């Protein structure tokens, strides 16, 4: 994928260009209303995906650390992004929604904080990662949503369909890989080559093995027919898998 370079969008409410909001505003509001009704909160990612400016597959790649910043994967120009974000924030204020800052962490071994904008401006990053939550939800429900949103996601390992070359050690193979900013990396270089693969199919065993494992990862593979990554199983420590199997006997 070719990512365009640009400065970060200015998502402040007062950045709305005069006379250009009308074509976009109804679409932003429809997307925001639908997300709020479905989940009780709305994020900027919901808006960008709902507008068709950001592909879910690009969000997935960004969460895996394969894209340095999310803005680079957005198809709309900087002006449109700023306009949409300003409309979204004004809509959230009118609805009386509550802001909740969320930590976005990469599905990589280093668990680094993900970047939204090209510039990395703290104010812009804060606007992107803020979720707007319905005040109708109970305090307990809002706390659960915040905890779930900020919970570090599962590490993701890709089962490739073709041979590839590790960007760290230069080894070429068709084995499992993780994605980093520089490209694919083999499990030996990430310190995960000791893990055992547990295929999907036994939810109870997978749950017990993952709970007992100090390090685990979800294995996914690209589906050509469905055009998305699909779960194939998990990687867990061998001792954890043996313990989980004994508990199931």
pLDDT of residue 10: 54
Predicted TM-score (pTM) above 0.85? no
Same domain, 54 and 111: yes
pLDDT of residue 152: 74
Helices 238-248, 203-212: crossing angle, 10 deg rounding = 130
Q: Domain for residue 228, yes or no?
A: yes
Q: Domain for residue 8, yes or no?
A: no
Distance CA 34, CA 28 (A): 10
Q: Which of 39, 53, 248 is nearest to 149 (CA)?
A: 39
> What pLDDT digit, counting tens, does each position of 160-215 carry?
999 999 999 999 999 999 987 778 999 999 999 999 999 999 999 999 999 999 99
Q: Are 235 and 217 spatial neighbours (Cβ–Cβ below 8 Å)? A: yes
> What pLDDT digit, counting tens, does each position of 5-61 carry?
344 555 444 444 444 445 899 999 999 999 999 999 999 999 999 999 999 989 988
Same domain, 114 and 186: no
Same domain, 66 and 87: yes
Same domain, 120 and 235: no
Is residue 215 classed exposed, middle or buried when 0-12, 13-18 and 19+ CB atoms within 10 A define those classes? Answer: middle
Q: Domain for residue 170, yes or no?
A: yes
Could you tell me what percent of the chain has a pLDDT over 70?
90
Same domain, 178 and 127: no
pLDDT bracket for residue 249 (50, 70, 90):
low
Q: Domain for residue 5, yes or no?
A: no
Q: Domain for residue 4, yes or no?
A: no
Last residue of a domain, one of 150, 170, 197: 150
pLDDT of residue 151: 74
Q: Are strands 98-101 and 156-158 parallel, antiparallel or unpaired?
A: unpaired
Q: Are 161 and 222 spatial neighbours (Cβ–Cβ below 8 Å)? A: yes
Q: Domain for residue 25, yes or no?
A: yes
pLDDT of residue 194: 95
pLDDT bracket for residue 145 (50, 70, 90):
confident
Same domain, 137 and 165: no
DSSP 168-205: TT--EESS-EEEETTEEEEHHHHT-TTPEEEETT-HHH
> What pLDDT digit, counting tens, does each position of 55-113 carry?
998 998 888 788 889 999 999 988 899 999 999 999 999 999 999 998 898 877 778 89
Q: Domain for residue 144, yes or no?
A: yes
- 3-state SS, residue 147: helix
Q: Are 225 and 161 spatial neighbours (Cβ–Cβ below 8 Å)? A: no
Domain containing 200 equals 156-248
Same domain, 138 and 167: no
Give me the number of domains the chain comprises.
2
Could you tell me what percent of the chain has a pLDDT over 90?
66
Same domain, 44 and 125: yes
Least confident of 25-29, 121-125, 153-157, 199-203: 153-157
Last residue of a domain, one of 95, 128, 150: 150
Last residue of a domain, one of 150, 171, 193: 150
């Amino acid at each position: 994928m070719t990512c365009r370079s640009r400065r970060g969008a200015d998502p402040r409410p007062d950045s709305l260009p005069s006379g250009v909001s009308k074509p976009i505003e109804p679409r932003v509001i429809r997307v925001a209303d639908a997300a709020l009704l479905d989940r009780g909160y709305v994020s900027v990612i919901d808006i960008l995906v709902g507008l068709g400016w950001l592909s879910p597959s690009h969000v997935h790649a960004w969460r895996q650390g394969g894209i340095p910043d999310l803005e680079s994967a957005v198809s709309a120009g900087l002006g449109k992004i700023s306009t949409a974000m300003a409309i979204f924030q004004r809509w959230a204020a009118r609805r009386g929604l509550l802001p909740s800052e969320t930590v976005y962490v990469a599905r990589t071994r280093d668990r680094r904080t993900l970047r939204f904008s090209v510039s990395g401006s703290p104010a812009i990053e804060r606007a992107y990662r803020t979720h707007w939550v319905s005040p109708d939800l109970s305090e307990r429900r809002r706390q659960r949503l915040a905890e779930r949103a900020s919970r570090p996601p599962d590490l993701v390992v890709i089962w490739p369909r073709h041979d590839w070359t590790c960007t760290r050690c230069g080894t070429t193979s068709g084995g499992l890989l993780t994605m980093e900013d520089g490209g694919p990396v083999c499990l030996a270089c990430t310190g995960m080559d000791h893990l055992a693969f547990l295929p999907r199919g036994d939810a109870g065993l997978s749950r017990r093995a993952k709970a007992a494992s100090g390090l685990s990862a979800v294995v996914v593979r690209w589906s050509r027919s469905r055009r998305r990554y699909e779960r194939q199983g998990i990687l867990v420590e061998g001792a954890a898998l043996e313990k989980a199997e004994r508990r199931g006997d």
